[in-house]
């Protein structure tokens, strides 16, 4: 488990991180979301030791992370980059060797990853001759080649076509399933929603919410219910503790101030006739995000 513990950081007079605290659990995909400039990249750089924190610490299984530990991390920076004139496989092997992987393992891992990412036929192409999407895949291979024990990926899905997104999702969930804590940021909330187990929301350098996706839904869901009945449902207006969001003939969307109020609506509807549909509307990540950062 990785714990980011009360990290503060300023650039000049501007404080960009305020007491940032959250954890990334083993075997979980943790989505890290926030607007541009909210502090995601700075936080990730501090986790990787590329930047130092002014105060606070990063702990792994309770112990402070040291320089040597960073080599066991896999990192994909937001600003992509590989050596343009080096061949794909050569370059990934080189990065694996810098991480301390032996030559034969480095070669084997590189071959496996390139195969998995659909880049095997490009192994001997210089990176500068690859399409942007393929460069991105090579970048992901570079982050994974040393079998990292912790993965930190800054916007791993940006610039990928839908097929590549599928592939990368597959690779990342495999890693998480094998027990690796995975922290990834993304602007694409639909991908985060589909992929993450846990969520961390940051705004203006402060963590606004963190926890499992279900907990956050329960916590920040605005308790919207949908009712579709055989008969007209305009009577709902008169039920206590209920606010109508939208109403049209046989269907309504309403907000209940507590679960009991919603159940009262359901009983009343059944008394009046058949109920076709009654459901708690799950808030989307986008809705939670909006609510949290306000």
How far apart, in Å, are the Cα atoms of 188 and each of 89, 220, 234, 275? 29, 20, 38, 36
Q: Does 107 bind other proteins (CB under 8 A)?
A: no
Here's the x/- map for other proteins, 22-61, by CB under 8 A: it reads as: -----------------------x--xxxx----------
Here's the x/- map for other proteins, 167-206, by CB under 8 A: it reads as: ----------------------------------------
| Side-by-side strand order, sheet with 224-229 | 242-248, 251-256, 224-229, 275-281
Among 37, 81, 133, 259, binds other proteins (CB under 8 A): 81
Q: Does 144 bind other proteins (CB under 8 A)?
A: no
Among 18, 97, 255, 272, binds other proteins (CB under 8 A): 97
For residue 140, give the nearest of 125, 126, 152 by alpha carbon.
152
Q: Near other proteins by CB under 8 A, which window of 73-81, 202-210, 212-220, 286-294? A: 73-81
Cβ count within 10 A of residue 246: 10
Q: What is the CA radius of gyration of the chain?
A: 24
Q: Does 70 bind other proteins (CB under 8 A)?
A: yes
For other proteins, give the closer residue by CB, 11 or 163: 11
- As a whole number of Å, the end-to-end CA separation of the chain is 30
b/e 8-35 (16+ beta carbons within 10 angstroms → b): bbeeeeeebbbebebbbbeebbbbbbbe
Residues that bind other proteins (CB under 8 A): 45, 48-51, 67-68, 70-73, 75, 77, 79-86, 94-95, 97-102, 105, 142-143, 146-147, 149
């Amino acid at each position: 488990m990785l714990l980011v513990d009360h990290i503060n950081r300023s650039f000049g007079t501007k404080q960009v991180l305020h007491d940032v605290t959250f954890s990334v659990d083993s075997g979980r995909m943790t989505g890290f979301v926030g607007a541009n400039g909210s502090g995601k990249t700075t936080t990730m750089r501090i986790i990787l030791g590329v930047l130092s924190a002014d105060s606070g610490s990063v702990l792994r299984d309770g112990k402070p992370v040291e320089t040597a530990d960073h080599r066991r991390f896999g990192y994909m920076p937001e600003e992509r980059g590989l050596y343009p004139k080096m061949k794909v496989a050569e370059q990934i092997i080189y990065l694996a060797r810098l991480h301390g992987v032996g030559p034969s393992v480095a070669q084997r891992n590189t071959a496996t990853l390139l195969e998995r990412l659909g880049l095997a036929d490009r192994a001997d192409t210089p990176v500068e001759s690859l399409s942007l999407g393929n460069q991105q895949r090579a970048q992901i291979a570079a982050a994974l080649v040393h079998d990292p024990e912790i993965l930190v990926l800054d916007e791993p899905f940006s610039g990928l076509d839908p097929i590549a997104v599928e592939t990368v999702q597959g690779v990342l969930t495999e890693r998480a399933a094998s027990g690796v804590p995975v922290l990834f940021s993304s602007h694409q909330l639909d991908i985060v929603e589909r992929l993450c187990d846990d969520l961390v929301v940051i705004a203006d350098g402060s963590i606004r919410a963190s926890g499992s996706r279900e907990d956050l839904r329960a916590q920040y869901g605005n308790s919207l219910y949908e009712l579709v009945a055989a008969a007209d449902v305009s009577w709902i207006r008169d039920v206590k503790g209920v606010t109508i969001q939208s109403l049209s003939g046989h269907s309504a969307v309403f907000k209940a101030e507590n679960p009991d109020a919603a159940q009262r609506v359901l009983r009343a509807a059944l008394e009046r006739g058949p109920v076709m549909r009654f459901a708690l509307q799950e808030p989307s990540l986008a809705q939670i995000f909006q609510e949290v950062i306000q």
